[in-house]
Amino acid sequence: MSTTRLRFAPAPTGSLHLGSARTALFNWLTARGTEGELILRIEDTNAELTRPELIDNIYRSLEWLQIEFDGEPVRQSERTDLYNDAVESWLSDDLAYVDDGAVRFRVPSDGTTSWDDVVRGNVVFENQNIEDFVVRRADGSATFFTANAVDDFDLGITHVVRGEDLVNVTPKVIMLRQALGAQDLPKFAHLPLIVNEQRKKLSKRRDDVALESYRDRGVLADAMINYLALLGWGPPDDVEVRPIEEIVQLFRLEDVNPSAAMFDVKKLEAINGDYIRAMKPEEFTEALIPWIANEPWNSLVDRDQLAQVAPLVQERTRVLVEGPPQLDFFFLESPEIEESAWEKAMTTPEAPLILESTKTAFASVDWSVASLHESLRAIGDSHGMKLGKAQAPVRVAVTGRLVGPPLFESIHALGREVVLERILRAQNKLDET
């Protein structure tokens, strides 16, 4: 028998919002940390929101985040009788009245309604500031207030953890719950809003709020969860990047910071980079495949070769989308040479000499990373250049860019034939100009 029972109650309005994901997470953390239960409740009292595909998206996103629920989801659209009964009883007790076909709840004109919020402390509303609100629409459907109050009571919810934007509906829900005959109140915890750089609530219109869009760019679920946990909460020991199991142990609703938190993509990506670097090379290679599938050179990719070269860019990748562009030259027949790179590396007096020496040396050098390395180092030496300088023309000739994965490992993977051909190609291009 569990002592705590929580619910995550999204309205199916399309893709899961970052704020909703954070709310789901904090509910989940609380449930896990207290060995309680967490149920998923779909708030689709509005007929327009009952479309199955909207709900599927929520399931998929929550599944991706590995936020699990106990029991089957509760669909409010399937509990209309319950809401009707409640409204009827309020009507017969004269707690509510009909107005233009809708039913409104009678709010007392004096007194106060308050609760002790877990994250904000005591919150008090003067009843006189609350209007009689609609509990049943003219079309007969229950409103959010009714469904919310009835379900939280009926489902035995002990902790209501939701966004701060719902603070002002809380007194209404409390009144309804009392009208239902409830003697107690659940613990309310209103989480700080997640805001953008303008300090405004993340909005669908202006901000990139869909969880999927981060997933699609190659943010890992574990990293996303870890980052989201840091929005409004911090571990007591200052260790921010850590396994979710540890966060479950450390997390306490009482420690949640009440002030709004800005969603910082840079930090998200930094944490994601940590997670990517922590992957096994094979895992990283595997994770990259869906992103490579989007590249025009996808059909040229050889899996074995990919397994060999992907790890070379692992620590250079913060989000998975950044992976493929760093690897294209391994697979493209004749990768394009970036103009700015060419300008920088090939217009020096030494460049042609280095290319020629390298071509000659590489034609017979032992094809190992160490020998390749030593060989080019020696060539650089003979021109009085450090390797850092000397490698530039070769890198541009072979990869088309000035920056990229470690050169000798790359050259090694490409093979002698390809490398010599690319050097020759660069020499030809040099001759043309």
Please, which residues have CB within 8 angstroms of residue 201's CB and are 6 or more apart in sequence?
A: 19, 165, 193, 194, 195
Q: Kindly state the smallest distance separating residue 308's Cβ from RNA, in Å.
A: 15
Q: Kindly state the smallest distance separating residue 44's Cβ from RNA, in Å.
A: 7
Based on the number of CB atoms within 10 Å of its own CB, is 203 exposed (0-12), middle (13-18) or buried (19 or more)?
exposed
Nearer to RNA, 253 or 303 (CB): 253
Q: Kindly state the smallest distance separating residue 130's Cβ from RNA, in Å.
A: 8
Nearer to RNA, 137 or 425 (CB): 137
C-alpha pair distances (Å), 179 with each of 150, 279, 296? 10, 54, 63
Residues 337-366 contacting RNA, CB under 7 A: none
Work out which of 15, 23, 45, 285 binds RNA, going by CB under 7 A. 45
Work out which of 27, 357, 391, 427 binds RNA, going by CB under 7 A. 391
Work out which of 62, 404, 423, 426 binds RNA, going by CB under 7 A. 404
C-alpha pair distances (Å), 78 with each of 43, 59, 83, 85, 229? 10, 18, 10, 14, 33
Work out which of 316, 361, 371, 418 binds RNA, going by CB under 7 A. 316
Nearer to RNA, 9 or 423 (CB): 9
Residues 116-175 contacting RNA, CB under 7 A: 120-126, 129, 133-134, 137-139, 141, 143-144, 164-169
Task: Convert residues 65-84 into a mask of x (bound to RNA by CB under 7 A) and - (unbound).
Answer: --------------------
The partner residues of 324 in beta bridges, in order of sequence, read none
Work out which of 273, 323, 324, 400 binds RNA, going by CB under 7 A. 273
* 411 Ramachandran zone, left/alpha/beta (phi>0; psi -120 to 50): alpha
- 54 backbone dihedrals φ, ψ, rounded to 5°: -65, -40
Task: Convert residues 184-223 into a mask of x (bound to RNA by CB under 7 A) and - (unbound).
Answer: --------xx-x--xxxx----------------------
Q: Kindly state the smallest distance separating residue 31's Cβ from RNA, in Å.
A: 20
Work out which of 216, 274, 286, 421 binds RNA, going by CB under 7 A. 274
A 10 A CB-CB count for 228 gives 24
d(CA 46, CA 94): 26
* Contact (Cβ atoms closer than 8 angstroms) between residue 98 and residue 140: no
Q: Kindly state the smallest distance separating residue 315's Cβ from RNA, in Å.
A: 4
Chain mean position to CA 123: 32
* Contact (Cβ atoms closer than 8 angstroms) between residue 150 and residue 144: no
Q: How many residues bind RNA (CB under 7 A)?
A: 79
A 10 A CB-CB count for 261 gives 17
Q: Does 100 contact RNA by CB under 7 A?
A: yes
Q: Does 285 contact RNA by CB under 7 A?
A: no
Q: Does 26 contact RNA by CB under 7 A?
A: no
C-alpha pair distances (Å), 405 with each of 74, 192, 234, 329, 401? 50, 42, 35, 11, 10
Candidate ranges 207-215, 283-291, 353-361, 395-403; the one touching RNA (CB under 7 A): 395-403
Work out which of 259, 299, 340, 364 binds RNA, going by CB under 7 A. 259
d(CA 151, CA 60): 24
